[in-house]
Amino acid sequence: MQRRDFFKQTLTLAGGAVVGTTFSEASQQVETLHPVDDRKVSDIAFPQKRPLITYSDRPPLLESPREVFTSPITPNDLFFVRWHMPMIPTYISKNRFTLHIHGAVERELKLSLKSLQTEFEQVELTAVLQCGGNSRTAFKPTAGGIQWGIGAMGCARWKGVRLKDVLAKAGLTKDARWIGFNGLEKAVYAETDNFVRALELEKLSDNIILAYEMNGEDLPYLNGYPLRLIIPGTYSDSWIKMISNIKVTKEKMRLHFMEHAYRIPDNECECETPDNLTQKTKPIEKMNVNSVIGYPVSGIKVKQGAELIVRGVAFDGGEGIAKVEVSTDGGTTWQEAKLDKDEAGRYAYRAFTHPITPKQGGTLSIMCRATNTKGETQPFPHEIKWNRGGYKYNGIDEVTVKVVV
């Protein structure tokens, strides 16, 4: 293997999409379970963060604990963190920062943060940010990538400017077709491709923004300060952090993180098996319908006969949540939960609550499932088919509590 190819394959494994993966036990049974849900938060807090579940400090990989998912807005200091490259600037001057727009444009631009805040219409959008590999631990055998539990996601109010407006100021040429994005994170080795993503120009919309604020504050450093790309309804792989460069091109760029990473089988079930990996793949893109219980968490004790309020959040890729249901009998019967008002828009969390009263002592399982306006409903975990990257898991969530007399 050439040295360059070695670094590419190693980095793709870290990014969560295995290239040319082989399994020594290819005949082992493929199954999908509930994600791992017993990890503890770290004793150490990263800057601007409370202690989170920590996978790595270089690059920073931090997961939000289950308890966070009772609110429609995720606090900045509890918001998950996912970087691809280990080299992140230790300091960025807000006054010296510039965004470079070039390529197939009529006017090459270098925009300061101040110019973005004063020369363009300011917009706000509430949207869910979710890693495509969220809940990857549910896939057996193990899929390549960070072994996330349920907490590689969050919802925030993002403020910034429309990407469309910035590109209009640069003036796109008639033959412009693709927009490439990359930020200030860098690979250690020159042989390793940096994290660059691209968007087809025909997919550009008013909802895609360049954000400099998150929940009314400057972006936290670990969440992409001072500027990041927001593409609501899609998985976070293209939400470039510390975005500093936008290159418009006439032709599709050959990019490692587009051609190999963040892709799933291009077939009806979006699935494959370890001993029969699908060659034809497609980007993961739009998020599917999902919901998570934030309270109670597994393992806590609750009182028999006392009312327990189940709380959680639901979301999808922008169709909108129609209902959330809760089951306490293993999914045999379901009761509809109460959704909060739909005020934050179709890309945001819908918080839900549902009261239950445990009737007898022992172990009690609590499940939730969401259905969107298209009629798409979360499947049971065993109904989700395996893929090598461990992407797009959205199985019915479940917590188990102990009822005491």
Closest CA to 184 of 242, 229, 101: 242
Segment 275-281 shows an average pLDDT of: 96
Contact of 75 with 157, CB cutoff 8 Å:
no
Q: Indicate the SS3 state at residue 323.
A: strand
The answer on pLDDT for 10 being more than 70 is no
- Tell me the average pLDDT of the chain: 93
For 139-176, what is each residue's pLDDT tens digit?
A: 999 999 999 999 999 999 999 999 999 999 999 999 99
Contact of 148 with 135, CB cutoff 8 Å:
yes
**Residue 138: band (very low, low, confident or very high) from pLDDT cuts 50, 70, 90:** very high
Segment 238-247 shows an average pLDDT of: 97
**Kind of pairing between the strands at 98-103 and 122-130:** unpaired
The answer on pLDDT for 297 being more than 90 is yes
Segment 11-18 shows an average pLDDT of: 40
Quote the percentage of the chain above a pLDDT of 70: 93
**Residue 24: band (very low, low, confident or very high) from pLDDT cuts 50, 70, 90:** very low
Looking at residue 194, its pLDDT comes to 87
**Please, what are the domains in the chain?**
3-283 (3.90.420.10), 290-404 (2.60.40.650)
Q: Could you tell me which residues come within 8 angstroms of residue 347 by beta carbon, excluding any fewer than 6 positions away?
A: 125, 126, 127, 128, 207, 232, 233, 315, 318
Looking at residue 270, its pLDDT comes to 96
For 28-45, what is each residue's pLDDT tens digit?
A: 689 999 999 999 999 999
Give the Cβ contact number of residue 356 at 10 Å.
17
Segment 225-248 shows an average pLDDT of: 97
Segment 224-237 shows an average pLDDT of: 98
Q: Indicate the SS3 state at residue 100.
A: strand
CA 181 to chain CA centroid, Å, is 18
Phi, psi of 99 (to 5 degrees): -105, 120
Looking at residue 190, its pLDDT comes to 79
Closest CA to 158 of 126, 111, 200: 126
Whole-prediction pTM value?
A: 0.92
